[in-house]
Amino acid sequence: MLFACSDTKGEVTKDKNNPMKVIGYVAGYEDFDPAQVDVTKLTHVNYAFANIVDGGVQFELETDAAKIASLMSLKKNNPELKILYSVGGWVWSNEFSHVAASETARKKFANSCVLLMKKHGFDGVDLDWEYPGQRGEDNAFRPSDKENFTLLLQTIREALTEQGEKDNVHYLLTIATGADQAYIDHTDLGKAQEYLDFINIMCYDFYHGWHYQTGHHANLYPSERERFGGNSAKEAVARHLKAGVPSNKLIMGIPFYGRQWEKVTPKNNGLYQSAMSTGVIVSYNDIVEKLKSGKYKKLYDESAKAAYLWNEEDSVFISWETSKEVEMKAKYIKDNGLGGAMFWEYSLDKEQELLNTLFKSLHN
């Protein structure tokens, strides 16, 4: 076991037999052909999303089967590639609490996960429950979610192991986690991680579609200019380590999109100001196009290691991710013995500018 220097608290390990993971989510609902995915730069693909229906999992879109088949065909370009399917997400997390609430429901759900995995030839299952024990988009939640989430993961792991013994394969089980303390408080990650291969921390949306205040949505470090609380990727990682997750099971999430606010109070170039809109998602592709207008001033918060844009003429503020931030996060991942990086979402970086930086930086 090799040890790395770290500025986070907790056990920091490096697994020399397990190379850096580069995990890309591919959203089936986007107008995007998965055949364009450059799998030579990825170790894992998470196809999103399957829905929970009648206690089991299923794909809801007519195009899902064809897109999944297209993804699977890319394994010829990278035989080591692992392709998982992701369940839930922001919109489809409403049933998680119910399927986790009893042993019977958990077993039904776990068996369904295995059947869907086998049907399409996936290498495992990723759960994106937003959020156990607390409000998400329109999800049911209950106090017992904390314990039930762990029991659900245990049940799925047991079902995957049973199938894996038949197939002589290790099937993967992963989750996407929230980055704030509330997520840690409503889960038992120290126990849950025992059933997981790794954990994808959503180190983004620190300021998002509920906020009428601008701010960095994916800063690496806390900002000295913070006014409203905020968060940072460093703090998110530290929380997971403190909760008992080994560092090499932690994957840092990186956004291939920004957040945009309109009618922003014109002070301090729009940073940490009130706005008349919430922070809507804007893809990296679209931000690059917006910059061509010449209206946006490129700015940087050195303390947070975060880029942002200010359009004074239209009072528009954008928090975004550039290659500079991706490179710094890759260095942070390596220096702190994390397992790699995850990003949302592949189609949002059409020219692969961020992906190329991430791949090169992690493997430099």
Round to whole Å and give the CA distance between 83 and 343.
14
- Contact call for residues 196 and 244 (beta carbons, < 8 A): no
Round to whole Å and give the CA distance between 156 and 287.
40
CA geometry: angle at 183 spanning 177 and 188, to 5°? Answer: 85
Cα dihedral 128→131→135→136 (10° resolution): -10
Round to whole Å and give the CA distance between 189 and 178.
11
- Contact call for residues 24 and 38 (beta carbons, < 8 A): no
User: 283: which residues sit within 8 A by CB, 6+ positions away?
Assistant: 256, 257, 258, 347, 348, 349
Round to whole Å and give the CA distance between 202 and 274.
24
Round to whole Å and give the CA distance between 233 and 179.
8
| Of 95, 130, 325, 345, catalytic | 130
Please say if 130 is a catalytic residue: yes
- Contact call for residues 191 and 243 (beta carbons, < 8 A): no
Annotated catalytic residues are 130
